[in-house]
Amino acid sequence: MNPRFIVWAVLASALCPGCQPDISTAILLPDLSGLEAPVARKLRTTHAILARDLSGQTIGAFARALHAHAMLSEAEQAYLAAARLAQGPDAYEYLHLAGLAASESNPTRAIGYLSRAANLRPNSAATQMLRGRMLESLTRLSEAESCFQAVVQYQPSSHAFLGLGRIKLARGDAKAALQDLNEAQRLQPGHREVHEARARCLNQLGNTQASRAAARRAGDLAQPTPFPDPFQIQIASENVSSEARLHRGAALAQAGQTAAAIENFEGVLEVRRDHIEALDYLALLVQKTEPQRAIGYLNRILARKPAYPRALELRARVKLSLQDRAGAERDLQNLLRVVPDHAWARKQLRR
């Protein structure tokens, strides 16, 4: 067992429902050495709350923080402790998350947790889909098929029909598989994995032209299409590492949520003061509302990368907006040394 997080009593309680160990002595803070400061702070904060008020909810919050920062074995056992103390819907959620945390290290154990969660809430598409995919990965096809069929009954989705199609394809029934895959495509035309499965299916049926077309369509869709499990989304939102905050900031910026994006990029700089990508995003986001602040970010980029064209151009644009013609011309001249045919820079210098 990982020495950073000792939960012998809690694990025993999960395996022995009649036992009543002292859970308060079992949930310990892991070793935080080497972690980024925001991550360590997040774990200390959630653990301090737990220490003051031990409940399924507080243990669950601590487990989610562990899970978000890849302490999976510790999170798994904390989820079990939370499920033992929780009531009703909360117990279901913690068992689902325990299954998710255990899915990489021990799929069989994870399926056990997910089965218990499904017993508490049989109509949960998230649990049935995760359980079905794991059963499919272990080639327990009949059980996996039952999970996907259950989802189709109460929440039809491209993911459920894709699962059914894959299972029929694995059994060699390409014709039946194609019906499910066509339905999956109808429900979500941009689902990459559906096009990949259709390409394999059509190839088995001898329709090579359509198979190539499906493969090309899959190639055009660069990103996978994950099932929107609300619990997995929640775990991702708990992650405060610099890498996670950078990706979250980019997504928020793309969605037009500027204030939240800026907060996440500033969080990246708390850990990595001169992170080029975070500084670049911040300069773009504040250039119109806070031009001097944008110049500060760009100065930090150019101190590290003096010949960075994007930063030189943006700083020139911001300086022009501030009527700093001399400063802008210096940036434009430096930009032309790096990109001699930069049309906008040449045009500005001719004015």
pLDDT digits (tens, 9 = 90+) for 196-254: 999 999 999 999 999 999 998 888 887 888 888 899 889 988 999 999 999 999 999 99
Residue 18 has what DSSP assignment?
A: T
pLDDT band at 15 (very low <50, low <70, confident <90, very high): very low
CB proximity list for 214: less than 8 A, separation 6 or greater: 195, 196, 198, 199, 202
Q: Compute the half-sphere exposure of residue 105: CA atoms within 13 Å on the CB side of its CA.
A: 12
Determine the pLDDT at residue 7. Answer: 38
CA–CA dist 98, 78 (Å, integer):
8
How high is the mean pLDDT of the chain? 89
> Which residue ranges does the chain devote to CATH 1.25.40.10?
156-232, 243-350
Please calculate the CA angle 247-251-255 and round it to the nearest 5 degrees.
165
In the numeric block, the tokens 């610099």 are attached to 242
CA–CA dist 195, 174 (Å, integer):
14
Determine the pLDDT at residue 220. Answer: 85
Mean pLDDT of 303-307: 94
What share of the chain in percent tops pLDDT 90?
Answer: 79
CA–CA dist 177, 197 (Å, integer):
9
Does the predicted model carry a pTM greater than 0.85?
no
What share of the chain in percent tops pLDDT 70?
Answer: 93
pLDDT band at 90 (very low <50, low <70, confident <90, very high): confident
- CATH fold, domain 243-350, is 1.25.40
Cβ atoms of residues 74 and 5 within 8 Å: yes
Whole-angstrom CA distances from 270 to 36, 241, 242, 311 are 10, 10, 8, 21
Residue 16, judged by CB atoms within 10 A of its CB (0-12, 13-18, 19+), counts as exposed
Residue 30 has what DSSP assignment?
A: P
Continuous H helices in the chain: 8-15, 37-52, 56-68, 72-85, 89-102, 107-120, 125-137, 141-154, 158-170, 174-187, 192-204, 208-220, 230-238, 242-254, 258-271, 276-286, 291-304, 309-321, 325-338, 343-350
Q: Compute the half-sphere exposure of residue 312: CA atoms within 13 Å on the CB side of its CA.
A: 20
Backbone angles phi, psi at 159, to 5 degrees: -65, -40
Mean pLDDT of 36-62: 93
Could you tell me which residue, 307 or 15, shows the higher pLDDT?
307
Ramachandran category for residue 38: left, alpha or beta (phi over 0 → left; psi -120 to 50 → alpha): alpha
Overall size of the chain counted in residues:
351
CATH superfamily of 156-232: Tetratricopeptide repeat domain (1.25.40.10)
Whole-angstrom CA distances from 108 to 67, 102, 118, 139 are 19, 9, 15, 12
